[in-house]
């Protein structure tokens, strides 16, 4: 079975995969919906056979998707969940009720498509995976799908859906060589998921300039524009390393007011939870049977790895997927809120197209020891560039080619330090896998 599964993945990766491309530049030839539309028409457009919640954003879209999916599942719905990238296994991208597609099913879907794909020139790995997800969800007779955009919005392969609602999470600067060099351009690309006469829920934004752009697009589509910050107030009641509790209240409605608990840490995760709550209220308004108990239980059970996730207590090791300046700022704030005066050993690795200087503005000041490393991803930034970026801030850094070596150095430096691993989801995922294997060996 493993041999067949590996062969299926090799086949998928044999197509154009822009996520592995260095310094990708935007062009209509590379990013358009013609290929995926042609493929889905051949498959009978399974994505139109069930309702969809479509989620775009720079940060928080995965967490928001998981909150929504968890509540829907708790309410008794069979829920498809499509996210990217994966952490350890490609099958993680396609889930039904939080269970990944089996290797057998993925192989079967790949085999089915082999006779069809030659008729769709220039089809990409992500487009094929998206097609498999939509086809699998239909075969599994799901009640609703929660679909996360891969990149951008307007020209992303997932944007062939006609969602029951759209959700746009926090926007910030990322993939600027593709999406645009201003926050307004980025907002316009993300706002491309807004559809005619379908409400759009917009999370609290760091950059206020995004609101008029998104509201303008919503007006063009006669789409109800729901700003979370003008719909709900929320306040964190307390937090610990085990989770956090917060109160939410609908503005102008004292009856819509109750407390919620989540496992995900950081005030930004409360923003994501309130955004999910607002989206769920829209679903209730469209006839979905979700009660208060479902929301409380669904939020409490929601889990999303590599988001300020504590994977070891002795020494304390935390992994996080911060990969731009905004998320690094959120990580820095969360570390201060939850770790107090504990000393931090930072293990950092990132892709070469990321804003390293912007991230270091927030991560280096909270770090007592700095260790640079790199993942095996082809876009991983070299150690020389990372060390030079640290030196520009008068900070010396160790550097190791492998995450195993970086971890060994972190253990050696000071066992009382908190080890914080971040900069790339690929670095965080690799570290988690290495530490998990060590624990199994013990």
Say which CATH number the domain at 341 has: 3.90.190.20
Looking up residue 211, the CATH number of its domain turns out to be 3.40.1190.10
Query: For the chain, what is the domain count?
Result: 2
Final residue before a domain boundary, out of 252, 281, 301: 301
Same domain membership, residue 206 and residue 283: yes
3-state secondary structure of 233: strand
Same domain membership, residue 279 and residue 423: no
Final residue before a domain boundary, out of 277, 301, 325: 301
Same domain membership, residue 144 and residue 230: yes
Distance from C-alpha of 91 to C-alpha of 133, rounded to nearest angstrom = 10
Same domain membership, residue 348 and residue 214: no
Same domain membership, residue 6 and residue 115: yes
Distance from C-alpha of 119 to C-alpha of 353, rounded to nearest angstrom = 33
* pLDDT given for residue 178 in this prediction: 55
Final residue before a domain boundary, out of 271, 301, 331: 301
Please report, to the nearest 10 degrees, the dihedral formed by the alpha carbons of residues 333, 336, 338, 341 taken in order: 170
Same domain membership, residue 254 and residue 191: yes
Element (H, E) at 128: helix 125-139
- Which two tokens mark 155? 């020209």
How much is the pTM? 0.93
Distance from C-alpha of 151 to C-alpha of 158, rounded to nearest angstrom = 9
Distance from C-alpha of 110 to C-alpha of 9, rounded to nearest angstrom = 9
Element (H, E) at 153: none
Q: How many CB atoms lie within 10 A of CB 34?
A: 11
Same domain membership, residue 274 and residue 130: yes
Same domain membership, residue 237 and residue 174: yes
Same domain membership, residue 216 and residue 93: yes
Same domain membership, residue 42 and residue 177: yes
Same domain membership, residue 389 and residue 314: yes
- Cα first-last separation, the chain: 28
Which residue range forms the structural domain that includes residue 220?
2-301
Contact 149, 122 (CB under 8 A): no
3-state secondary structure of 125: helix
Q: Which residue's structure tokens are 């790949």? A: 110
Give me the phi and psi of 308, to 5 degrees please. Answer: 40, 55
* pLDDT given for residue 378 in this prediction: 74
- Alpha-carbon Rg of the chain, whole angstroms? 21
Contact 319, 250 (CB under 8 A): no
- Which two tokens mark 332? 């820095």
Q: pLDDT tens for the chain, 442 residues: list them.
A: 788 999 999 999 999 776 555 444 445 556 789 999 999 999 999 999 999 999 999 999 999 999 999 999 999 999 999 999 998 999 999 999 999 999 999 999 999 999 999 999 999 999 999 999 999 999 999 999 999 999 889 999 999 999 999 999 999 876 545 565 689 999 999 999 999 999 999 999 999 999 999 999 999 999 999 999 999 999 999 999 999 999 999 988 767 777 999 999 999 999 999 999 999 999 999 999 999 999 999 999 999 999 999 999 889 999 998 888 989 999 999 999 999 989 999 999 998 878 899 999 999 999 999 999 987 777 788 899 999 999 999 999 999 999 999 999 999 998 899 999 999 888 998 999 988 776 655 5
Same domain membership, residue 246 and residue 185: yes
- Which two tokens mark 336? 């201060």
- Which two tokens mark 370? 């700095």
* pLDDT given for residue 179 in this prediction: 65
């Amino acid at each position: 079975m493993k041999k067949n599964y590996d062969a299926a993945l090799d086949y998928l990766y044999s197509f154009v995969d822009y996520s592995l491309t260095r310094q990708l530049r935007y062009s209509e030839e590379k990013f358009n919906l013609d290929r995926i539309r042609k493929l889905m028409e051949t498959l009978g457009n399974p994505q139109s056979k069930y309702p969809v919640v479509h989620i775009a954003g720079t940060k928080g879209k995965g967490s928001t998707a998981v909150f929504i999916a968890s509540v829907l599942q708790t309410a008794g719905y069979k829920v498809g969940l499509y996210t990217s990238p994966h952490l350890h296994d490609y099958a993680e991208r396609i889930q039904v009720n939080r269970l990944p597609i089996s290797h057998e099913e993925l192989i079967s879907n790949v085999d089915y498509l082999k006779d069809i794909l030659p008729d769709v020139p220039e089809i990409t790995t992500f487009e094929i995976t998206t097609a498999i997800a939509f086809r699998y969800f239909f075969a599994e007779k799901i009640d609703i799908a929660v679909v996360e955009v891969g990149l951008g919005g307007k020209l992303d392969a997932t944007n062939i859906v006609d969602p029951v609602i759209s959700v746009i999470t926090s926007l910030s600067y990322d993939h600027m060589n593709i999406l645009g060099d201003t926050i307004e351009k980025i907002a316009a690309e993300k706002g491309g998921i807004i559809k005619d006469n379908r409400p759009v829920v917009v999370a609290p934004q760091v950059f206020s300039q995004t609101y008029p752009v998104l509201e303008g697009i919503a007006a063009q589509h006669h789409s109800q524009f729901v700003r979370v910050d003008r719909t709900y107030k929320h306040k964190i009641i307390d937090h610990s390393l085990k989770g956090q509790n917060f109160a939410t209240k609908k503005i102008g409605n004292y009856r819509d007011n109750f407390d919620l608990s989540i496992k995900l840490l950081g005030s930004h995760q409360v923003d994501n939870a309130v955004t999910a709550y607002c989206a769920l209220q829209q679903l209730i308004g469209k006839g979905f049977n979700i009660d208060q108990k479902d929301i409380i239980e669904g939020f409490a059970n929601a889990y999303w790895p590599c988001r300020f996730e504590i994977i070891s207590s002795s020494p304390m090791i935390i992994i996080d997927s911060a990969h731009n300046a905004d998320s690094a700022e959120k990580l820095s704030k969360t570390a201060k809120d939850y770790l107090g005066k504990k000393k931090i050993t930072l293990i950092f690795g990132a892709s070469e197209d990321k804003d390293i200087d912007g991230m270091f503005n927030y991560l280096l000041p909270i770090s007592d020891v700095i260790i640079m490393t790199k993942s095996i991803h082809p876009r991983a930034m070299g150690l020389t560039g990372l060390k030079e970026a640290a030196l520009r801030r008068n900070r010396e850094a160790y550097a190791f080619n492998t995450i195993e070596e970086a971890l060994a150095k972190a253990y050696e430096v000071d066992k009382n330090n908190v080890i914080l691993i971040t900069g790339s989801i690929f670095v965080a995922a690799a570290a988690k896998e290495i530490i998990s294997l060590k624990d199994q060996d013990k």
